């Protein structure tokens, strides 16, 4: 069974406003816009890869377990990205980073993200360098998600582990968690099984995933699972990653 990383889904108080922020910051087009979903699409990914913004009524609570890192090609480009983000409504954020070469910001709804200094490993990712997940066991998480996302382990130094993408997609990286997961994730991942959905779900359950109820209802076409560390993710119907088709 093969799987592909399809979407990063963002719970939003105002999906249209937040999607516009990210579309303008990244230079990605809005591929779909409706009351219940707005999709911002990578123009360079080898398959459909979206940031999907969906409405929720629950307020954001604490630091997100998942965040985005943005790629830069030079110190000047990094500064340009930071200035553009601030003009669009981002603000500086303190997550305990101290003196680091990257810049930590929060989007208009408070979701943290980083604008990285130039790094060669992100030269071919496009605007989003990495999707970063805080977990208690980065190496074990990388092994699980290598199957779930269909990406090979590209680095694992015992503290930070990452899955290497094809050109046009972000790395999927795992960092040691500073705090235990609390409540439903504000951002989660969608995976697209290239094959039978039920078989894909069964395989992931054998590897430690469990069914999760986040209020999706019986009409949902996707299956909600939680990985072995409690992180929710969705297994889509095969090939259903187009606008409005989650």
How much is the pTM?
0.94
**217: pLDDT strictly greater than 70:** yes
* pLDDT: which is higher, 183 or 16: 16
* Distance from C-alpha of 113 to C-alpha of 218, rounded to nearest angstrom: 33
Dihedrals phi, psi of 54, to nearest 5 degrees: -125, 150
* Distance from C-alpha of 20 to C-alpha of 67, rounded to nearest angstrom: 18
What value, to the nearest 5°, has the Cα angle with vertex 148 and ends 196 and 47? 75
**206: pLDDT strictly greater than 60:** yes
* Distance from C-alpha of 131 to C-alpha of 246, rounded to nearest angstrom: 20
- Reduce the DSSP state of residue 76 to 3 states and report it: helix
Q: Please report the domains of the chain, with CATH numbers, ordered by start residue.
A: 2-235 (3.10.180.10)
Specify the pLDDT at position 243. Answer: 44
* Distance from C-alpha of 47 to C-alpha of 229, rounded to nearest angstrom: 28
Specify the pLDDT at position 13. Answer: 96
Per-position b or e across 162-175, b if 16+ CB within 10 A of its CB: bbebeeebbbbbbb
- Region 48-63: what's the mean pLDDT? 92
What value, to the nearest 5°, has the Cα angle with vertex 136 and ends 132 and 141? 60
């Amino acid at each position: 069974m093969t799987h592909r990383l399809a979407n990063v889904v963002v719970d939003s108080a105002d999906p249209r406003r937040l999607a516009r922020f990210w579309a303008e910051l990244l230079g990605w087009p809005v591929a779909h816009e409706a009351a219940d979903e707005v999709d911002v699409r990578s123009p360079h990914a080898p398959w459909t890869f979206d940031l999907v913004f969906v409405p929720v009524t629950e307020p954001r609570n604490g630091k997100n377990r998942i965040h985005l890192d943005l790629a830069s090609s030079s110190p000047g480009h990094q500064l340009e990205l930071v200035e553009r983000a601030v003009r669009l409504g981002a603000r500086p954020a303190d997550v305990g980073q101290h003196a680091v070469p990257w810049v930590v910001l929060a989007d208009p709804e408070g979701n943290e993200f980083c604008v990285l200094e130039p790094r060669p490993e992100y030269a071919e990712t496009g605007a989003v360098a990495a999707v970063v997940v805080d977990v208690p066991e980065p190496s074990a998480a990388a092994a699980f998600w290598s199957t779930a996302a269909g990406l090979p382990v590209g680095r694992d130094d015992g503290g930070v582990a990452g899955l290497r993408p094809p050109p046009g997609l972000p790395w999927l990286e795992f960092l040691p968690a500073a705090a235990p997961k609390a409540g439903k994730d504000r951002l989660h991942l969608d995976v697209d099984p290239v094959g039978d959905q039920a078989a894909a779900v069964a395989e992931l359950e054998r590897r430690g995933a469990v069914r999760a109820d986040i209020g999706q209802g019986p009409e949902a076409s996707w299956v909600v699972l939680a990985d072995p560390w409690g992180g929710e993710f969705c297994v889509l119907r095969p090939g259903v990653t187009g606008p409005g088709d989650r």
